[in-house]
Amino acid sequence: MKKNILFVCTGNSCRSVMAEGLFKQAVSDHANGFLVGSAGVSAMDGYPASVETIHVMKEHGIDMSNHRSRRVTAAMVRAADRILVMELMHKLMILEDWPEAAEKVHLLTEYAGNAKARGLEIEIPDPIRMSGSFYKNVFQLIRECVTRLAEEFGIEKKNDTD
The percent of residues in the chain predicted with pLDDT above 70, rounded, is 91
Whether 126 is a known active-site residue: answer: yes
* Of 146, 143, 132, 123, residue with least CA distance to 53: 132
Q: Which residue has the higher pLDDT, 136 or 115?
A: 136
Q: Which of 9, 70, 143, 145 is catalytic?
A: 9
What's the mean per-residue pLDDT of the chain?
A: 90
* Of 148, 149, 91, residue with least CA distance to 121: 91
Give the residue-averaged pLDDT of 73-97. Answer: 97
The percent of residues in the chain predicted with pLDDT above 90, rounded, is 73
Whether 81 is a known active-site residue: answer: no
Q: Which residue has the higher pLDDT, 109 or 119?
A: 109
Whether 15 is a known active-site residue: answer: yes
- In 10-158, DSSP assigns E strands to 34-40, 82-85, 105-107
Q: Which of 14, 15, 70, 145 is catalytic?
A: 15
Distance CA(84)–CA(106), nearest Å, equals: 5
